[in-house]
Structure 1
Amino acid sequence: MSFVKVKGTYDVLPNESKRWQALEKFVRDLFNTFKYEEIRTPMMEYSNVFHRENEQSDMVTKETYNFKDKGDRDLTLRPEGTAGVIRSYVENKLYANNRLTKLYYIGPNFRYERPQKGRYRQFMQFGVEAVGSSDPFVDAEVIFLAYETIRRLGLKGVKVKLNSIGDDLSKSNYKKVLVDYLTPFKDQLSADSIERLNKNPLRILDSKAPEDKEIVENAPLPINYLSDAAKEHFNKVKEALDALNVPYIIDGKIVRGLDYYSHTVFEIEAAIPGFGAQNTLGGGGRYESLVEELGGPRLGAIGFAFGMERLLYALEMENIQLVNEERLDAYFIYFDEPSKSMSFKLLNELRQDDFKVDMSYLPKSFKSQLKEALDLKAKYLVIIGENELKDQMVQLKNTDTQIQELIPMNQLKEKLGVL
């Protein structure tokens, strides 16, 4: 019987984990600069956090992992980060300080969709949520942070695709126009879109079905049916982005994949040759009703998320290295049990002072130990044989210069500290 990983999942092996750690550190450092604080929420929530009456996106209706626990409670593995963050924001009354609450998260999500390169059923996301304000300058700050995330990583051709789907009045007006446009094509739409036509026609704009894509190609766009208030909000967002020199293009077809969005929506993409037709790395938007839907006051918020697998793949395609070469300070080579015992004692004394040192615990020859030391890019070799042990000395060899010297054991720490 063979044991393999679950379809749509992956293992991060030690040679890859350093890239993940480097990206996570980069994200934390950057988000802290913008005064966003980390929040960690459970990977599972009660199902009603995601399966809300007004949420009809494919992600929620078709792709969630749902199950009952032993207490017969309905639970869902989180398919995205925002709803859980807002649940926590409301439950812990973070709105009580009457301030803009700026949060970021890093963690796994789960969606039952077709696995492909850079997209998995268990996947990692990082993102931010700025909760408690409807100020368009907050939109601009969040978009700027998303843009800076990609730009500072070194990806080229970074740009923002921007749109507004407006406020409740705008969406109500647009919904009527869209239904009028789509109704004559009803028999040509996919089965899912026929069902959405009366329930939530905006979802049809986001359909992946080929027959739907062809029909919506000439559909009216939300941005052309904005209320005066929504136009004013969007204009202020654009003015603020202009002041920050953020390159953006207006793309009237962006609606994002979740129903709670309103006003500003955006995606971030980069020019990556060979990355495929879809260069979008992340995106997000404003939501005005989600806090209220989850039991809190009516407060505006905006956020974004990036898929870490896809982002790491993009960095790999562009040959951008996040990890500096790590080298051992020293590697101990021994010849017998007594010299092995002394090597073990000395290297752990060095570790107490934060030296990066190692040795082999397998029965290896001098040649095999030397090969392992060079594979690990050790800066120095510490060689202990019978004579060195008897005289309380070690051979210290610089692997770059090949200079070797005999030094007292009690000077090893000092010598390595200077070198």
Structure 2
Amino acid sequence: MKTLRVLVLVAAGLAGLAHAQTEPAPSGRAPSDRIPLAVDLQERIEQVTVTVKDRWGREQTKAIPVTVYRPPGEGPFPLVVFNHGRAVDRSTQGRSRPEHLARYLVHKGLVVMAPTRLGYGDTYGKFDPEDSGPCERKDHAPAAQAAADQVLATVAFARQRLPFVDAGHWVVMGASMGANTTLATVRLKPEGLLGGVNFGAGSGANPALRPGQPCSPDRFAQQWYGPAITPQVPTLWLYWQNDLYNGAEWPQRWQQAWVQGGGQAEFHALSAVGSDGHGGVFIDMNRWVPLMEAFLARLGVGSAYAPLRYRPVAATDTGKPDLLPANEALRQAYSDRFLTAALPRAFAVGDQGAFGVFSGDWAEGRALGLCQRSGQSCRLYAVNHDVVEQLP
């Protein structure tokens, strides 16, 4: 099957940075906004003007920041715009920077755009277009529409202003409230849309007081029962059994409502991960990437992901300092941060002294990515108990 060039809209540690460009960070901004830009992903910030309405019909027009990541070369490339979730404190919710997900998609030859929607961070204020009302009687539709309108504005901006983006084909994705945004966008069936990915869409909850009991879940289901523009494009639904916001049962009912409303949905209930599976998009790449690969392949989106290849050459308990560059900070990080880290773990080194350390899900890719942020050429040095040689 011929691979299409596709614009993908999707639904955020960093270490060992050197010689990286930074973005000014106003006082009070979230810590993620003070992290240097990822040079290797050509990270940049665009300002996109959006106009939205809240559930009372009040309208506001403002510019929102959109993070852009892109592959090397002139393109045009497919685009991924990730739709973020809704923090408890929106005033300190920083610019959306889904870097680990972006690295995976950029590696596949896609551009990623991540809008920080109106009402968050720098645009936080009394006007909140995603206020859906009290838990017992939520009105989800206006909030989802306001969020979807910002997706469409982002796509229009890419089409008009970013020549390296092929905006003729795209897929929308998101997590939590960003996944609600995904579903609302799919129902609008905008031009060129090929599919959508839902990471944990839901109706809000209080996981501390009522874990696994979402707010007004029947109302959320009813949102998808009504008339929809058909035929709708395929969607991938990814939920985790220990989702403290949505629980294990309601997501399946929502998927049934979606299908009864004319939608297409491939549903996966993944086993528990971490302390709260609602964040599975960020902590369970090892399991969702294969499902995403298969889904995007069916849509003809991007190239196949090529996993990192390496072979062991020595045991890490020997340290092998002679194989490391003569950089004291790097060797100290290897000793203090990598050798003491829990498994799975990985350590990457750059050709000019940068390094990346990561312990946990997708360790090899994240360690290498953290090293590469500075723009240096990096390679894996150690994985788990082994010093390794990275293979082409």
Whether the TM-score (by the shorter chain) exceeds 0.5 is no
**TM-score normalised by the chain length of structure 1:** 0.26
When Rg is computed on C-alpha atoms for both structures, the one with the higher figure is: 1
Bigger proportion of residues as helix? 1
